[in-house]
Amino acid sequence: MLYKCVKCGGEAAVRIDYATVGFCKECFKEFFERKVRSTVLKYAMIKPNDRVLVAVSGGKDSSSLLFALRKVFPDLKIEAFHINLGIKGYSKESEHKVSELAEYAKTNLTIFDLEKELGISIEDFKNTVYRRKICAPCGVVKRYLINKVAYEKGFTKVATAHTLDDTVALLFNGYLHGDVNGIVRLKPVLPSTHTKLVAKIKPLWEVTDKECLFYALFCDLPYITEPCPLGGETTKMRERKELISELSTKIRGFKHIFLKSHTKRMLPLLETSVNMLPLIECELCGMPSSERICAFCKRMRLLK
């Protein structure tokens, strides 16, 4: 079936499955940017004098995030941050794409090179108990460094590129295993609960992976197309996303309904039943932690 752009009547370049409408390239870019803007405003993610550090991996989602934020909030203090993880055949190209993107989006970029700064590569975890499941320690290292650099450089918000598909897949797993603590952390805004913990925001909370892909393509953004050779988005996550996409063909709007029910109905209830322990400071690095030694320092010890 041939679709027309729902806004200008021109030939559609993309079809939005869950709403059964089409958009031409230009109208789609506007639609995407409006959605990012309305998400930021709806959840009061950013205040006018915030300084926002955008965590950029080099993939389509975070490239779209940086570019859209820049476009939608031209006066906002935004900078980009990238961690070179030292993964052969992947990290060099990712860093290159991020540098190109930062230039294209006229944004300052800070690069943290694991090998230069800490003398390690994320691949070193292959020789630890993690063996081939490197995504777990990789996630810990990334979360820690993104927060630490944001804190040390005086940023007031960290923006990550978690999409609607990411959140729905994580929610699905959370409910499957009854992981209430994990579910409660799936929010569009994670406020700061410690002076050294910078608040996290997810402006792509309501946009899908596919929408990010089309936005990146239509805006000619530089981004890396190959997945991380170590698993990146783990096979399990990918399989979950495929299953959820299939469900969405049977139950129209499934992903959006699931996310909305979670955000509006379940989250407020669950939050009252979970007691978050106050954070203390890690004995080794002084950064916030729920235990005496933080998750990052524990992982670093494994490499020594």
Q: Given the rule CB under 5 A, which residues bind Zn ion?
A: 282, 284-285, 294, 297
Phi/psi class of residue 154: alpha, beta or left (left: φ > 0; alpha: ψ in -120 to 50)? Answer: left
Euclidean distance between CA atoms 224 and 93, whole angstroms: 7
Nearer to ligand AMP, 161 or 198 (CB): 161
231 sits near ligand FES (criterion: CB under 6 A): yes
Q: What is the DSSP letter of 264?
A: I
Which of residues 237 and 293 has its CB atom nearest to Zn ion in the complex? Answer: 293
CA angle in degrees (0–180, nearest 5) for 256-261-262: 100
Establish if 9 lies at the interface with ligand AMP (CB under 6 A): no
Binders of ligand AMP in range 35-64 (CB under 6 A): 55-57, 61-62
276: alpha, beta or left, given left = phi > 0 and alpha = psi -120 to 50? beta
- Comparison of 161 and 168: residue with beta carbon closer to ligand AMP: 161
Q: Which does 201 bind (CB under 5 to 8 A by kind): ligand FES, Zn ion, ligand AMP, none?
A: none
81 forms part of the interface with ligand AMP (CB under 6 A): yes
Q: State the DSSP code for 266.
A: I
Binding segment for ligand FES (CB under 6 A), chosen from 1-9, 27-35, 133-141, 283-291, is 133-141
Q: Which of ligand FES, ligand AMP, Zn ion, none sits in contact with 294, Cβ below 5 to 8 A by type? A: Zn ion
* Helical spans, DSSP H, in the chain: 25-42, 60-72, 91-104, 114-118, 135-152, 164-177, 180-184, 209-218, 235-250, 254-260, 267-273, 295-302
| By the rule CB under 6 A, 139 interacts with ligand AMP | yes
66 lines the binding site for ligand AMP (CB under 6 A): no
Residues of span 84-113 touching ligand AMP by CB under 6 A? 85
Report long-range pairs for 240-247 (Cβ below 8 Å, ≥24 apart).
Answer: 240/169, 240/172, 240/173, 241/165, 241/169, 241/209, 243/172, 244/165, 244/168, 244/169, 244/172
Tokens of 171: 């929610």
Taking CB within 5 to 8 Å according to partner kind, which of ligand AMP, ligand FES, Zn ion, none is near residue 66?
Answer: none
Contact assessment for residue 303 and residue 120, using Cβ atoms and an 8 Å cutoff:
yes
- Member of 161, 168, 228, 287 binding ligand FES (CB under 6 A): 228
Beta pairing, strands 157-159 & 288-289: unpaired
| 138 part of the interface to ligand FES, by CB under 6 A | yes
Is residue 230 close enough to count as binding ligand FES by CB under 6 A? yes
Beta carbon of residue 142, minimum distance to ligand AMP (angstroms, whole number): 5
With CB under 5 to 8 Å by kind, the binding choice for 134 among Zn ion, ligand AMP, ligand FES, none is ligand FES
- Other Cβ atoms less than 10 A from the Cβ of 279: the count is 17
Q: Count other Cβ atoms within 10 Å, centred on residue 284.
A: 15
Q: By the criterion CB under 6 A, which residues form the site for ligand FES?
A: 85, 122, 134-135, 138, 228, 230-232
Q: By the criterion CB under 6 A, which residues form the site for ligand AMP?
A: 55-57, 61-62, 81-83, 85, 139, 142, 146, 160-162
